[in-house]
Amino acid sequence: DTEVTQTPKHLVMGMTNKKSLKCEQHMGHRAMYWYKQKAKKPPELMFVYSYEKLSINESVPSRFSPECPNSSLLNLHLHALQPEDSALYLCASSQGHYRGETQYFGPGTRLLVL
Amino acid sequence: GESVGLHLPTLSVQEGDNSIINCAYSNSASDYFIWYKQESGKGPQFIIDIRSNMDKRQGQRVTVLLNKTVKHLSLQIAATQPGDSAVYFCAENIGSGGSNYKLTFGKGTLLTVNP
């Protein structure tokens, strides 16, 4: 089973709201990732967690706050977002964060910021 | 192939034909490459991968070719079906060691299969 699940599927929020995106995998993977994807563009890496520790932050604004409560779960907390943050947010996981590890993606959360 | 501006490269084929999708990668130190398929409204789905010590790898109806000399990757899909219609991304694994490996995606190609 190579399934990564994400909730919610869709989210609409105002610029003053606080919301969270959730990601879950039960493949025993120890690396998890957040990507942002704008329409007709490739996914862009935001954060990498390896063994529940943040190992890469691609200079993401602090209004995005990741959290990895355990090896199966990954959250992305959103606060005071801007309309330009509207995008598809993808979660992925891999066995580890090493050279040559295949990443498996979830279906994404489509976020609209009004 | 690679795009310029905001438009995805597109490839339109007839059902049953073979498709070839091309990708140029940027880093000569990249040693692992993946092709993903992304259907509308879904996340990228792993299709096939190849490591830099190989120049060809075959899967079910798909073949990936790697030419390290010109930093070029291609995905061949045999007997293309309507269900193959999607955006196809190549991705290269970049990193110098330790915990800094990242996947960097190409711009994508929209494949449309006409019945």
Across the range B91-100, mean pLDDT stands at 75
Asked if the Cβ–Cβ distance from B105 to A98 is below 8 Å, we say no
pLDDT for A107 equals: 96
Q: Which residues, 6+ apart, have CB-to-CB distance to A53 below 8 Å?
A: A68
pLDDT for A13 equals: 94
The residue of chain B nearest to residue A5, with distances taken between CA atoms, is B43
Give B13-53 pLDDT, tens digit per residue: 999 999 999 999 888 888 899 999 999 989 999 999 999 99
pLDDT for B5 equals: 40
Asked if the Cβ–Cβ distance from A42 to B105 is below 8 Å, we say yes
Chain B CB contacts of A99 below 8 Å: 31-32, 93, 95, 97, 101
Asked if the Cβ–Cβ distance from B93 to A99 is below 8 Å, we say yes
| Residues forming a β-bridge with B24 | B72
pLDDT for B102 equals: 86
Distance CA B25, CA B45 (A): 20
Confidence of residue B4 (pLDDT cuts 50, 70, 90): very low
Confidence of residue B8 (pLDDT cuts 50, 70, 90): confident
Across the range B62-75, mean pLDDT stands at 95
Number of residues written out for chain B: 115
| Average pLDDT value for chain B | 89
Across the range B57-73, mean pLDDT stands at 95
Confidence of residue B94 (pLDDT cuts 50, 70, 90): confident
Q: Assess contact for B110 and B8: CB atoms under 8 A.
A: yes
The ranges of chain A with pLDDT < 70 are: 1-2
pLDDT for A1 equals: 56
Confidence of residue B99 (pLDDT cuts 50, 70, 90): low
Chain B CB contacts of A100 below 8 Å: 31-32, 51, 93
Q: Determine the residue among B53, B54, B103 to mutate to test chain A binding: the one whose Cβ has the most chain A Cβ atoms within 10 Å.
A: B103
Distance CA A85, CA A34 (A): 14
pLDDT for B49 equals: 95
Q: Determine the residue among A101, A110, A111 to mutate to test chain B binding: the one whose Cβ has the most chain B Cβ atoms within 10 Å.
A: A101
Q: Is B59 helix (H, G, I), strand (E, B) or coil?
A: coil
Asked if the Cβ–Cβ distance from A100 to B93 is below 8 Å, we say yes
Given a cut of 50, is residue B3 above it in pLDDT?
Answer: no
